[in-house]
Amino acid sequence: MTAARKAYRASIIHSIGDPAEVGLEASYEYFEDGLLVVTDGQIESVGDAGILLAHLPHGTEVVEYDDALLMPGFIDTHIHYPQTGMIASYGEQLLDWLNNYTFPAEKAFSDPAHADEVAEIFLNELLRNGTTTALVFGTVHKASVDAFFSAADKRNLRMIAGKVLMDRNAPDYLTDTAESGYRDSRELIERWHGKGRLHYAVTPRFAPTSSDEQLAAAGQLLQEYEGLYMHTHLSENRDEVEWVKSLFPQCSGYLDVYDHFNLLSERSVFAHGIHLCDDECKRLAETGSAVAFCPTSNLFLGSGLFNLPKMEQHKVHVGLGTDVGAGTSFSILQTLNEAYKVMQLQGAKLNPFKSLYLATLGGARALRLDDRIGSFASGNDADFVVLDYNATQLMQYRMQQAKTLDEKLFVLMMLGDDRTVRETFAAGQSVHRRG
Ligand code: GUN
Ligand code: ZN
């Protein structure tokens, strides 16, 4: 059988390194007139169209995009699919927001039909925004994760998700037990982990809502299965941090609670990490754990400002998260817009090439998936987006004044959103086309 080969011609960019490590110029590859060759859902090659076209087998279909920038699909390292319907809920900071809005919204996922419906809406929204991989919270209900994974599997997406573990300090209608949470997680792992492009994440909500027994059971699951993720929240809000200290007086701090139960690893992703001390950053780096930077959420809930330079100093892996529904947009472009402002408020800059890295390869590295996604390395999954430089009248006008690549990228990141995403591809298949 001949290979299913197709080529895409546009301006093409992808990250190949962290600007903090290799410098800006060595952090990306850019082809003004580029060609991406995709075979059987994987990247075959990327380069200058002038060179690659000459070597394409006769008859290969070439799709051309004008005024467009083609890049790897965005990676969202922290998001809650059950919170899609309560995004933009007014007035509270974290703990009241959870009690007043989040828990009641998550209650509805005891109904599998509701979970199916929201999973579809959620995936449509991700793909409309150019996000091809996400690390996703379900609810405490096993059925919520079945609904999510089966919807993602049908579209052949690379997704990571898990059932929330929560056996205390939450309404009765939303709690499991250490035993049932362990059992349900095992069942889901057996059913979904490694199926197609799916991965399972052991998902204790956060330290305050799990007993010692439940956190120990989470650690046990990570021991029992290869390649599982651990996904939770960490040091988001000052009242939350104080609460954790009072609940776990024997631990030296918030991160130490997770450490105590062996939950720090190369596949551990902690959302937020705003109020961390140097020792905690050091420990994250030592264990290869990652932090998800969620600027729209951190500003929306008034949680604080994420210190990216400090994470860079400690060499902690950082990805970008929308954290919908505390986050206010599914768009990674809008998330970069807010990330830039969070840095400004701390007297720092967020260069557009660093932004590109965070949105793609940096996220892939945080998820230990950089051998599959996040760049156009040969053999990677063909998950990519085509962005429209002229998506809106304002963007079109502004782009006329933009002289350099970094200027154009920056405008995309400040003014771009779902309207900017012309087409999204997953494993070489078109999964969203605008309009
Ligand atoms: N901490 C515990 N649960 C949550 C949640 O659902 N969202 C956010 N942003 N923080 C949390
Ligand atoms: Zn969250």
Question: Cα(131)–Cα(142) distance, rounded to whole angstroms?
Answer: 25
Q: What is the pLDDT of residues 246-258, one digit of tens each?
A: 999 999 999 999 9
Note whether 172 and 47 are same-domain residues: no
Closest CA to 189 of 157, 156, 154, 165: 165
Note whether 162 and 175 are same-domain residues: yes
Q: Which ligand has the nearest atom to the CA of 270?
A: 2
Note whether 419 and 279 are same-domain residues: no
Sheet containing strand 28-39, edge to edge, reads 42-48, 28-39, 5-15, 61-72, 384-388, 421-426, 429-433
Is any ligand 1 atom within 6 A of the Cβ of residue 388?
A: no
Entry pTM:
0.98
Closest CA to 355 of 10, 12, 18: 18
Does residue 98 fall inside a structural domain? yes
State which ligand 1 atom lies nearest to the alpha carbon of 325.
Answer: 7
Is any ligand 1 atom within 6 A of the Cβ of residue 426?
A: no
Question: Cα(409)–Cα(215) distance, rounded to whole angstroms?
Answer: 42
User: In whole angstroms, how large is the CA radius of gyration of the chain?
Assistant: 21
DSSP code string of 405-422: HHHHHHHHHHH-SGGGEE
Q: Which ligand has the nearest atom to the CA of 98?
A: 1
Contact 323, 296 (CB under 8 A): yes
Does residue 344 fall inside a structural domain? no
Please list the ranges in the chain whose pLDDT falls under 50: none
- Write down how long the chain is: 435
Note whether 233 and 317 are same-domain residues: yes
The last residue of a domain, from among 275, 301, 330: 330
Q: Which residues share a beta bridge with 48?
A: 34
Both structure tokens of 44: 């075959």
Is any ligand 1 atom within 6 A of the Cβ of residue 217?
A: no
Does residue 241 fall inside a structural domain? yes
User: Which domain range does residue 305 map to?
Assistant: 74-330
Does residue 362 fall inside a structural domain? no
CATH number at residue 386: 2.30.40.10
CATH number at residue 289: 3.20.20.140
Does residue 337 fall inside a structural domain? no
Note whether 156 and 233 are same-domain residues: yes
Note whether 294 and 382 are same-domain residues: no
The last residue of a domain, from among 330, 352, 383: 330
Is any ligand 1 atom within 6 A of the Cβ of residue 94?
A: yes
Does residue 324 fall inside a structural domain? yes
- pLDDT for position 358: 98
25 CB contacts (<8 Å, ≥6 apart)? none
Does residue 52 fall inside a structural domain? yes
Tell me, in angstroms, the distance from the centre of ligand 1 to residue 304's CA. 14
Cis amide leading into 325 (omega within 30): yes
Note whether 65 and 188 are same-domain residues: no
The amino acid that residue 109 corresponds to is F
Domain tally, the chain: 2
Note whether 61 and 111 are same-domain residues: no
Is any ligand 1 atom within 6 A of the Cβ of residue 236?
A: yes
Note whether 107 and 44 are same-domain residues: no
Q: What is the pLDDT of residues 261-307, one digit of tens each?
A: 999 999 999 999 999 999 999 999 999 999 999 999 999 999 999 99
Among 81, 94, 96, which residue has the most ligand 1 atoms within 8 Å of its CB, making it the best to mutate? 94
Among 236, 237, 272, 299, which residue has the most ligand 1 atoms within 8 Å of its CB, making it the best to mutate? 236
Note whether 250 and 322 are same-domain residues: yes
Note whether 309 and 245 are same-domain residues: yes
Both structure tokens of 386: 């085509």
Question: Cα(4)–Cα(14) distance, rounded to whole angstroms?
Answer: 23
Note whether 48 and 90 are same-domain residues: no
Is any ligand 1 atom within 6 A of the Cβ of residue 98?
A: yes
The last residue of a domain, from among 277, 302, 330: 330
Does residue 379 fall inside a structural domain? yes
How far is residue 182 from each of residues 107, 148, 177, 202, 270, measured CA to CA in Å? 20, 19, 8, 9, 20
Among 78, 79, 84, 102, which residue has the most ligand 1 atoms within 8 Å of its CB, making it the best to mutate? 102
Q: Which residues of 205-243 are buried (b: 16+ CB within 10 A; e: fewer)?
A: bbbbbbbebbbbbbbebbeeeeebbbbbbbbbbeebbeb
- pLDDT for position 3: 74
